[in-house]
Amino acid sequence: MTHQSVNGQQVAASQGQPVYTIENCVNEFNIEAAKPTKSGYQYWFADKNFTQENTLKMSIVASGKSTHAPHRHPEEEIFYILEGKALFYLDGKTIEAGPNTSLYCPPNTEHGISNAGLSDLKYLVIKKDLR
C-alpha cells in the first residue's frame, strides 16, 4: 500500500486507487495547502489523485486578473461563483456574473473567466479528469 498527498493529507492507496475513509472524504479549506497562482491561489477539494473522475477546485483571483487566457479542452467544465464579480467569456461573447451563479463551459468551446470587480473573485471549478 502506498501513500499519496492530497492537499497536504496523506491518503493510503491500494493498487493506485485511494482508500476512502470518513477522515479523508471530508476536506475543510486549509490556506497552507493552497497553491499560489499568478492571479491569486487555488485549492483542490477533490483532485484527480483522489476522485474517480470529477474534480473540485476553488480559485481565488485578484481584482483585474484572470487565471489564464481563454482556451478550450475536450472536457466540459462548470464554474460556480461564490464571491465577487466575474467576467465570463464563452465563444466570443462575455457576460458579468455574481455570487450564486453557475457558468457552464460545453466541451471544446473557447471559454475563460476573469475578475471584473474591485475585490477578490472566489469560485468553484467542477471538471471531469480525462486520464
User: What CATH number is associated with residue 124?
Assistant: 2.60.120.10
> Which pLDDT value is given to residue 2?
40
pLDDT in tens, 89-109: 999 999 999 999 989 999 999
Of residues 94 and 17, the one with the higher pLDDT is 94
pLDDT in tens, 46-58: 777 777 788 899 9
The whole domain housing 124 covers 30-128
Number of domains in the chain: 1
pTM of the predicted structure, to 2 decimals: 0.74
User: Distance between CA atoms of 129 and 55, rounded to whole angstroms?
Assistant: 7
11 domain residue, yes or no? no
pLDDT in tens, 28-73: 888 898 999 999 998 888 777 777 788 899 999 999 999 889 999 9
User: How deeply is 44 buried, as exposed, middle or buried, from its count of CB atoms within 10 A (0-12, 13-18, 19+)?
Assistant: buried
